[in-house]
Structure 1
Amino acid sequence: MADIHSKQHTIKNEVTLKGVGLHTGKEVKMTFKPAPVNTGYVFKRVDLDDQPIIEADASYVVNTQRGTNLEKNGVSIQTSEHVLAACVGLEIDNIIIELDASEPPIMDGSSKFFVEALEKAEVVEQDACRDEFIITEVISYKDEETGSEIMIMPSDHYQVTAMVDFGTKVLGTQNASIQNLSEFKTEIANARTFSFLHEIETLLEHGLIKGGDLNNAIVYVDKELSPETMDKLRTAFNKDNISVKPNGILDNLTLHYPNEAARHKLLDVLGDLALIGTRIRGKVIANKPGHQVNTEFAKKLAKHIKTERRNNFPRIDYDKPPLMDVNDIMNILPHRPPFLLVDKIYTLTENCVVGMKNVTMNEPFFVGHFPGKPVMPGVLQVEAMAQTGGILALKSVPDPENYLTYFMKIDNVKFKQQVVPGDTLIFKLELLAPIRRGICQMQGYAYVNGKLATEAILMAQIVKSK
């Protein structure tokens, strides 16, 4: 179920940060830039030819061993989660994240510095409604091998609870929650990444974690420290002395919270679920979360949302008269029989229109399409959608009878069901962005017998008739 809830947001100004990639150890410059409505979160590799773009999309996840890594057409983005969490936490909808390397800077291992930079750039409202998917049922994903599980249930706000249990004495069971995204900045953003000593040793042996030091990762000591290991750590972290604090973490760091590990896991969940690509309203409960289970859940939820939206068949109360009958429609649209392909309008708001066409054997196109096997041409289904959308477009002008709408572009057309005599076509069209300079872009759906028959993105221009 979708809801047009509030306005979309981006940033007003560009802002740049510099730092080191945790795993690459390379200097990297990252610039946040404003983005148009409906852009979402987009990474841009400005160090490569053609400056390729990688959208923050769960379908591009290729590896989750040391962070959430994306790849599109051979171009990679590593450890995307902390940056994305900052964008989600500040309720930014559209942003371009430019990088001159494959990995954002680790900074202090949290989202704190990204939040500060984005606030400095100033979060601003945009002239388009935010599309939010409202959770109406429990959806879950479980990794049977690890026992990790994530579920989401209905809620009035986007809420997240993370529960972690590492089965070690030094870091036992911890929980962290936020009841509203407004809590992210003060409660979650500065929770730093962490590792166990045995993981650090493995990463060092493989030449990884080159940009890591004791200022950007909490290291929990879950085993006895040998002199050899101490030497390795002193060299890796460029420290004369390294010791273990009474609470079981390496020195040079003080925990911000007793449950900082759980808070960071919550931060990771927010960043990874940004890959769903749609703002969601529901309560997430993550038990032993990790990038693998987070991103698999993101893929499952993205697929569920896509299916729900396609199958979101408009419910029409036929006991009530329509908003417009065919005569009212002809007062707005210039089309006339036999090319008027919409009979009634049942819903008409600022952003959405729902219309209907009864398909009868008397349609002239059935004579030749096809003799003995009448099927409504797909192009005429798209035309019928466009005529319904024309009602919505012309609603934006005070004297619609003096205007025409012309097709400019049709994208992502898909035909799912045949339409035959006796069928009733229900059309639903929604604006994808506010109408500007007479240009309107809509997502259109046509349903028959409660199933999606046709879908397309339509762009048209409103022109005053001479």
Structure 2
Amino acid sequence: MQKQTTLASEAAYTGVGLHSGREVHMVLCPAGADTGLVFVRTDLPGQPEIHALAENVTSTLRATTVEEKGCKVFTIEHLMSAFHAAGIDNCRIEMDSEEPPVADGSALAFFELIQEAGKKELDAPRHEVVVDKVYRIDDEKKERFVMVVPYDGFRVSFTSVNPHKLIGIQYEDFEIDEETYHKEIAPARTIAYEKEIEALRQMGLGLGGTIESVIVYNDDGWVNPLHFEDELVRHKILDVIGDLRLAGPVRGHVIAAASGHALNTALAKLLAAAPRG
């Protein structure tokens, strides 16, 4: 029987939020069994808690937002992805702003922070989401989908479709374990099309994004160097791992085509009702 886990020690990280542009101090704190992953807004009166659960998702516009009792945190998918891959079940995430730091636009800093803090086993059984049948979510036009099928492990196969001639169709398939995630997925960064950046900022989004935290491309090519030739699809895998963690630790094979936060979190809501192992 697998046991639940938490961090062996506290770990802290300070930076700015990708969309808010606000400085944030984040502390990852050990937590007891069955706590789950809980965000704590230390900047608000009473330090309200927001549980990172699929049922608490309230927005998927360019990021995943969870909200509870009128308090929210957003752009949580990179941190959630790192927790999922590292196998951490319980943690209190204290933040003095509404958005985790963007770091370099990937999950690498968070994953390594978790590794440095260490993992502690708790005296309570682990509750994985054991996929026992096919769960699938399609968009309205049936052009994009994300599904998960039974599988003894955790695997993600993703096809990314981008009309830009520079990117086109990218595909990757990974068995997700800590070593593979650290090397192949965690370093993949957020990507933006240069012509969209100003429109995003007028919407109040991307205010903390810089050339150090976002890969930018235009009609001529990449503005900054890539970590991987197919970094876009690897970041998409990073995102789906984070979004599905809102259902709990998943045991299954995720298969997706051009999926984003809306479809990912809709699938997480379906999985939240799946059997637990």
Determine helix, strand or coil for the equivalent of 1:190.
coil
For the 8 Å contact 1:84–1:274, the answer to whether it is kept is: yes
Q: How much does 1:32 deviate?
A: 0.2
**Match for residue 282 of structure 1?**
252
Match of 2:182 among 180, 185, 191: 185
Contact kept, 8 Å, 2:31 with 2:90, in 1: the verdict is yes
Do structure 1's residue 270 and structure 2's residue 245 form an aligned pair? no
1:139 counterpart letter in structure 2? Y
Asked whether the 8 Å contact 1:90–1:185 carries over to 2, the reply is no
* Residues 20, 204 of structure 2: 8 Å contact kept: no
Give the conservation status (yes or no) of the 8 Å contact 1:29–1:99: yes
Matched, 1:249 2:219: no
Asked if structure 1 preserves the Cα contact closer than 8 Å seen for 2:85 and 2:176, the reply is no
Which stretches of structure 1, 4 residues or longer, exceed 4 Å deviation after superposition?
none
The correspondence for 2:215, drawn from 213, 218, 225, is: 218
| 1:218 CA displacement | 0.7
AA aligned opposite 1:273: L
User: 1:171–1:220: 8 Å Cα contact kept in structure 2?
Assistant: no
Q: Distance in 2 between matches of 1:81 and 1:269?
A: 8
AA aligned opposite 2:126: R
Indicate the SS of the match to 1:282: strand
Work out the CA distance in 1 between the residues paired with 2:89 and 2:171.
28
Query: Cα offset for 1:146?
Result: 6.4
From the superposition, tell whether residues 218 and 12 of structure 1 become closer, same or farther in structure 2 (CA, over 3 Å).
same
Q: What count of residue pairs does the alignment treat as equivalent?
A: 276
Deviation at 1:198, TM superposition (A): 2.7
1:337-392: CA deviations, max 9, x gaps?
xxxxxxxxxxxxxxxxxxxxxxxxxxxxxxxxxxxxxxxxxxxxxxxxxxxxxxxx
Q: Which residue of 1 aligns with 2:195?
A: 198
Aligned CA RMSD, in angstroms, stands at 1.6
Q: Percent of counterpart pairs with the same letter?
A: 41
Instruction: Give the TM-score, by structure 2 length.
Output: 0.95
- Specify the structure having the higher radius of gyration (Cα): 1
In structure 1, runs of 5+ residues without a counterpart are 223-243, 310-429, 431-466
**Are the aligned partners of 2:54 and 2:268 in contact in 1 as well (CA < 8 Å)?**
yes
Equivalents in 2 of 1:296, 1:274: separation in Å?
Answer: 12
CA contact (8 A) 1:108 1:215 kept: yes
Counterpart position of 1:419: none
For residues 261-310 of structure 1, the C-alpha deviation after alignment (integer angstroms, 9 at most, x for no partner) is 0000000000000111x22211000111100111111112213x1xx57x
**Displacement of 1:154:** 1.2
1:86–1:115 CA contact under 8 A, matched in 2: yes
**Matching residue of 1:9:** 5
Partner residue, 1:118: 114
Give distance in 2, aligned partners of 1:268 and 1:21. Answer: 17
Shift of the 22–299 alpha-carbon distance from structure 1 to 2, 3 Å rule, reads same
| 2:132–2:150 contact (8 Å) kept in structure 1 | yes
Alignment equivalent of 2:160, drawn from 160, 164, 169 = 164
| Contact 2:151/2:253 (8 A) holds in 1 | yes
Taking CA–CA contacts closer than 8 Å with sequence separation of 6 or more, which of the two structures ends up with the larger relative contact order? 2
| Unmatched segments (≥5 aa) in structure 2 | none
Q: Secondary structure at the match of 2:164?
A: coil
- Seen in structure 2, the aligned counterparts of structure 1 residues 117 and 103 have a Cα distance that, compared at 3 Å, is same
Distance (whole Å) between structure 1 residues aligned to residue 142 and residue 18 of structure 2: 26
Alignment of 1:130-145 (within 5 A): 130-145=126-141
Q: Is the 8 A contact 2:67 2:73 kept in 1?
A: yes
State the match for 2:268 in structure 1. 298
Q: Residues of 2 paired with 1:180 and 1:194: CA distance?
A: 22
Cα distance in 2 between the residues matched to 1:19 and 1:171? 30
Work out whether 1:31 is the aligned partner of 2:4. Answer: no
Taking the TM superposition and a 5 Å limit, the aligned residue runs for 1:57-456 are: 57-145=53-141, 147-182=143-178, 183-222=180-219, 248-250=221-223, 253-276=224-247, 278-303=248-273, 305=274, 308=275
- One-letter amino acid of the structure 2 residue matched with residue 211 of structure 1: G
Distance 1:215 1:145 in 2: 35
